[in-house]
Amino acid sequence: MSGAWFETVAEAQRRAKKRLPKSVYGALIAGGQAGRTLKDNIDAFGELEFLPHTAELPRERTMSTTVMGQDISLPVLISPTGVQAVHPDGEVAVARGAAAADTAMGLSSFASRSIEDVSSANEKLFFQMYWSGDRELLLQRVERAAKAGAKGLIVTLDWTFSSGRDWGSPMIPEKIDLKALLHFAPEGMLRPRWVLDFLRRGGIPDLTVPNMALPGQPAPTFFGVYGEWMQTPMPTWADVQWLREQWDGPFMVKGIMHTEDARRAVDSGATAISVSNHGGNNLDSTPAPIRVLPGIAAAVGDQVEVLLDGGIRRGGDVVKALALGADAVMIGRAYLWGLAANGQAGVQNVLDILRSGIDSTLMGLGRASIHDLVPSDVVVPEGFTRSPATADSTFR
């Protein structure tokens, strides 16, 4: 059954858990500290409700849109995720699944497959960068992305290098050597199909990141570039504006959770922002993106494209985000569960699940198009949204 069609993202996750070694699955779950943000990303959607109509519902619904200059068939994009030891084809399988669903993909600079390989599988590709290294290194990566055909650039700025999980973190080796193989052998014995799939395609994942390689040099290890990233001075908004000036095309700032940052991103030349808390993997006690989305959309939604990234598990979640101000959403763990469950077909399966859910929700709400959605389509409970405290706030 593990290679068959699945009907929900939750089922894809169950199959992924059965198929992946414990450490790999644990790395995908991730989260941070007490896991409050990780939990809230999903739970917050459950607090929002619909009041469906019962007659004169639209016979046909449309959900196509345009994001960062790319026409896509549904308002769901692939969010960039790094070091995918989930499936032998990695990001190439993800790109093919997204292309089959006619949507766009963000590719992480920490991806396990090169931008050249991935762009050949899906031309609707955006390249994601962290602020790692000096300006010369950053410019080299920008130029490589442009040469490979990337249609847009994403810069992620929200990482705080927070560490520690109350439930423990999986051991991730710097490289797969004899010591690492011996350590992970018991897990591999319990998940022989995962091991065999990789061996048939050339070997166990080596945890290198080819998109961070210097010209003519071999791909560095993930932890090698992570160290470079940690030692790089944090960027200013002037740095962001400089990077934007190096890129002739759509430019997204990812990791926005504050209206002030949204405005500064617009002032720096961003054409899109992603309302995101890094999947709950970053600063714990950060609210779910859907809680801050309405305020951010109200502040800058008429100036840039606003995307939401975090907690999407079904089509109804997508509709809630669109109604509250998002132009589209991005998904991360959802497609990784699909990739683990059934490769490229599993990624497309997840996107088809979301497409079907969007369609049925539009029907129930009496909306013929995603572009017809308005905030009143969602019942928002009192106290749901979050905004910064002010000097005269009353604390209890």
Cβ–Cβ < 8 Å for 209, 91? no
- pTM comes to 0.94
Which stretch of 61-65, 190-194, 263-267 has the lowest confidence by average pLDDT? 190-194
**Pairing assessment for the beta strands 152-156 and 251-256 based on DSSP bridges:** parallel
Query: Is residue 258 flagged as an active site residue?
Result: no
Q: How far is CA 386 from the centre of its chain?
A: 22
Give me the mean pLDDT over the 240-267 stretch.
97
Per-residue confidence band for 396, with pLDDT thresholds at 50, 70 and 90: very low
Which stretch of 131-135, 196-200, 264-268, 301-305 has the lowest confidence by average pLDDT? 196-200
What are the pLDDT digits (tens) for 283-335?
A: 899 999 999 999 999 999 999 999 999 999 999 999 999 999 999 999 999 99
* pLDDT value at residue 395: 37
pLDDT at 343 > cutoff 80: yes
User: How far is residue 161's CA from residue 291's CA, in Å, rounded to a whole number?
Assistant: 23
3-state secondary structure the chain: CCCCCCCCHHHHHHHHHHHCCHHHHHHHHCCCECCHHHHHHHHHHHHCECCCCCCCCCCCCECCEEECCEEECCCEEECCCCCCCCCCCHHHHHHHHHHHCCCCEEECCCCCCCHHHHHCCCCCEEEEEECCCCHHHHHHHHHHHHHHCCCEEEEECCCCCCCCECCCCCCCCCCCCHHHHHHHHHHHHHCHHHHHHHHHCCCCCCCECHHHCCCCCCCCEHHHHHHHHHHCCCCCHHHHHHHHHCCCCCEEEEEECCHHHHHHHHHCCCCEEEEECHHHCCCCCCCCHHHHHHHHHHHHCCCCEEEEECCCCCHHHHHHHHHCCCCEEEECHHHHHHHHHHHHHHHHHHHHHHHHHHHHHHHHHCCCEHHHCCHHHCECCCCCCCCCCCCCCCCC
Q: Which residues contact 359 (CB under 8 A, 6 or more apart)?
A: 61, 63, 315
Say which of 53, 183, 278, 371 is annotated catalytic.
Answer: 278
Q: Which residues contact 141 (CB under 8 A, 6 or more apart)?
A: 109, 127, 129, 211, 212
User: How far is residue 113's CA from residue 323's CA, in Å, rounded to a whole number?
Assistant: 35
Q: Which residues contact 236 (CB under 8 A, 6 or more apart)?
A: none
pLDDT at 166 > cutoff 60: yes
What are the pLDDT digits (tens) for 66-102?
A: 999 999 999 999 999 987 778 999 999 999 999 999 9
What are the pLDDT digits (tens) for 117-151?
A: 999 999 999 999 999 999 999 999 999 999 999 99
